Structure 1
């Protein structure tokens, strides 16, 4: 199985197409990562809320512990401070939840962008490459089969006439020479068929 053509022009086009496909996929991945970074910036308020909530809960918890040591009114002072500390914990949990949600959205968006871009590039690039590989393999097998050169020559004769411009025309014409089994003409025509596919004889 041949991955690239043997003729310079077609091989160059195939290599350029492969390079473009790789560059497009790399650009899509880079763009998706940039989008991920941009979305993750939205989690900054959540980080600040979590930090503020943790600090508030810790400070009010310590204050409640200290207030509980005040004689006679310690328990009365401790309860509202503990309630405020729980509110700080709630603020911290809300900030953490926001960060988690933003992280999930960023990850799903990034994966979706990468998958969509890669699939789109593959749909545009891969079928022509696979078609050429299949066609070139079939042409090479046909040439190697008994009578294959005759069939390739017949394909050229039945195809566009401009392809015949490089073949010397014998007396009586190319079709007559093919019918007579002229091996030189058949070889020349089969080389044209190979060149059209991007192969060399």
Structure 2
């Protein structure tokens, strides 16, 4: 099995198509990573809120612990400070939640920006390449088998006639020459069949 044609024109087109496909997929990945990083910047307020909430909660908790040691009124002083510390912890939790949400959105967006263009490129590029590989393999096996040149010549005779005009027309026409077993005509027709698939005779 060959991945590329033997004729230079078709091989060049195949290589260019492969390079374009790889470049498009690479570009999609780079774009997705850039978008992901940009979205992650939106988590900065969440980081600040988490930091501020944690600092506030820790400070108020320490203050509440210190206030609880005040004789007679320590418990009364500690309760509002503890409530405020809980509010600070809630702010920190909200900040963490925002960061998690932004992180998930960034990841999902990056995955979508990679998968969708990649699938689109593969759907446009891969089927024709696989069809050519299959056709060229069958043609090569056909040409190598017994009577392969005859079969290739027949395939050319029954296919599009545009390339037949370049061949010299023998008496009675190309089809009659093929039926007579004219070796030169058969060889010329088989060569056209191989060239159609980007193969050399």
Do they fold alike, i.e. is TM over 0.5?
yes
Aligned partner of 1:10 in structure 2 is 10
CA distance in 2, matches of 1:36, 1:64: 42
Relative to the length of structure 2, the TM-score reads: 0.95
Match of 2:169 in 1: 169
Q: How does 1:131-146 map to 2 (within 5 A)?
A: 131-146=131-146
The CA deviation string for residues 39-82 of structure 1, in whole angstroms up to 9 with x for no partner, is 21221111111011001001111111222222222222111111
Quote the residue 1:95 is aligned against. Answer: 95
**Residue of structure 1 equivalent to 2:72:** 72
Q: Which moved more, 1:186-195 or 1:33-42?
A: 33-42
CA offsets 1:127-168 (integer angstroms, 9 cap, x no match) = 000000011011111112221211111122222332023333
More displaced, 142-151 or 162-171? 162-171
Per the TM alignment, residue 173 of structure 1 is displaced from its structure 2 partner at its CA by 2.9
Q: Does 1:187 align with 2:187?
A: yes
Q: For residues 131 and 13 of structure 1, what CA distance do their matches in structure 2 show?
A: 15
Give the equivalent residue in structure 2 for 1:150. 150
* Deviation for aligned residue 1:111: 1.2
Distance in 2, matches of 1:179 and 1:60, equals 102
TM (norm. structure 1) is 0.95
2:124 aligned with 1:124: yes
Q: Could you report, residue by residue, the CA deviation over 1:12-53 in whole angstroms, capped at 9, with x for unpaired residues?
A: 000000000000001111111122112212211111110110
What residue in structure 2 maps to residue 159 of structure 1?
A: 159
Shift of 1:83: 1.1
Name the structure 2 match of 1:51. Answer: 51
Cα distance in 2 for partners of 1:120, 1:148 equals 38
Q: Distance in 2 between matches of 1:26 and 1:160?
A: 38
Which position in structure 2 is the counterpart of 1:61? 61
Q: Deviation of residue 191 (structure 1)? A: 0.5
Residues in 2 aligned to 1:112 and 1:134: alpha-carbon distance in whole angstroms = 32
- List alignment gaps of at least 5 residues for structure 1: none
- The worse-fitting range, judged by mean Cα deviation, of 71-80 and 21-30 is 71-80
Aligned to 1:113: 113
Paired with 2:11 and 2:126, the residues of 1 have a C-alpha distance of 15
